[in-house]
Amino acid sequence: MTMLAEVIGDPIAHSKSPLIHRFWIEALGIDADYRAQHVPAEGLGAYFEAARARSDWRGCNVTIPHKLAVMALVDDPGEVRGSIGAMNTVLRQRDGSLIGTNTDAAGFAAPIADRDLAGRPVVVIGAGGAAHAILFALARLGVGPVTVQNRSPLKGAGLLARFGLKGEVKPLGAPLPPAALLVNASALGMAGQPPLDLDLAPLPEDALVYDIVYAPLETPLLAAAHDRGLETVDGLEMLIGQAALAFELFFGAAPPRDRDEDLRDRLLA
């Protein structure tokens, strides 16, 4: 029986997840498929009811706008509801029950794992679903203080409190403090959205600029960081990292990460 996993969202046509998972399925030669399913909010309950009955369905990734709603639909949300507060992966157990987890936090943290950020100042732009996973990961790394800039400042304050982070909330576009890490976790800079317009001059020479937006890959923020000679991490690193963790949960095999360069070329083609 061919194992099946999916990514669900609304809209979903733009998703790069099928390309990533199929690349690994092909590389490993396993009998599996991964596809995108358009599931609107009103169809979410019926989607999971049907999935419970399918023994070939191993699970799904969950994207906009379902990362919060799905937590109420799985049998076992694990620690996710009380910790990160957003779910991006659902797995089907043999008995048809569903468990949920989040691979975004670890996918975000992997590219910065070798940097000592404990006690260092960090700026995060955005306070949406992705920011939940990112602030959770940053809290575990012991960073601080954290400045959150968001269009809706209240959401930023809620996130700092949720993850027990010391810091402050500033309006979008406020001057940056001299942070060791700047993360764009907002939609700004994404194709079709306004660019994230920040003056990077206050950042020290060894600051890292991390943009989780991956379309385009070189966002205006990353271009500005390159112009200043700052080190950067692009959005494909997190995208591939979170997918790799989900792939292993779905199919029980580790993806061939030594093929990441090939995979990036395909994603950019």
Q: Give contact residues for ligand NAP (rule: CB under 6 A).
A: 64, 104, 126-131, 150-152, 155, 172, 186-188, 190, 193-194, 212-214, 235, 238-239, 242
Query: In this complex, which beta carbon is closest to ligand NAP, that of residue 11 or of residue 45?
Result: 11
Query: In this complex, which beta carbon is closest to ligand NAP, that of residue 158 or of residue 177?
Result: 158
Separation between Cα atoms, residue 67 and residue 85, nearest integer Å: 9
16 is catalytic: no
Question: How far apart are CB 99 and ligand NAP at their closest, in Å?
Answer: 21
Question: How far apart are CB 131 and ligand NAP at their closest, in Å?
Answer: 6
**Residue whose token pair is 């061919």:** 2
C-alpha pair distances (Å), 232 with each of 10, 112, 217, 229, 237: 30, 10, 12, 9, 11
Residue whose CB is nearest to ligand NAP in the complex, by number:
128
**Residue whose token pair is 């030669």:** 29
Q: Helices marked H in 11-115 — which ranges?
A: 17-28, 44-52, 104-109
Query: In this complex, which beta carbon is closest to ligand NAP, that of residue 188 or of residue 225?
Result: 188
Question: How far apart are CB 191 and ligand NAP at their closest, in Å?
Answer: 9
Burial class of residue 10 (count of CB atoms within 10 Å of its CB; 0-12, 13-18, 19+): middle
- Phi first, then psi, for residue 56 (nearest 5°) are -80, -15
In our burial notation (b when 16+ CB lie closer than 10 A, e otherwise), range 81-113 reads eebbbbbbbbbbeeeeebbbbbbbbbbbbbbbe
Separation between Cα atoms, residue 2 and residue 15, nearest integer Å: 22
Separation between Cα atoms, residue 227 and residue 222, nearest integer Å: 9
Question: How far apart are CB 52 and ligand NAP at their closest, in Å?
Answer: 26
Question: How far apart are CB 151 and ligand NAP at their closest, in Å?
Answer: 3
Query: In this complex, which beta carbon is closest to ligand NAP, that of residue 9 or of residue 57?
Result: 9
Tokens of 71: 């937590």
Query: In this complex, which beta carbon is closest to ligand NAP, that of residue 6 or of residue 234?
Result: 234
SS3 188: coil
Residue in 210, 212, 199 with CA at minimum distance from that of residue 88: 212
Query: In this complex, which beta carbon is closest to ligand NAP, that of residue 12 or of residue 238?
Result: 238
Q: Cβ of 41: how many Cβ atoms within 10 Å?
A: 10
Out of 16, 67, 166, 170, pick the active-site residue. 67
Question: How far apart are CB 95 and ligand NAP at their closest, in Å?
Answer: 31
Report, as residue numbers or ranges, the catalytic residues. 67
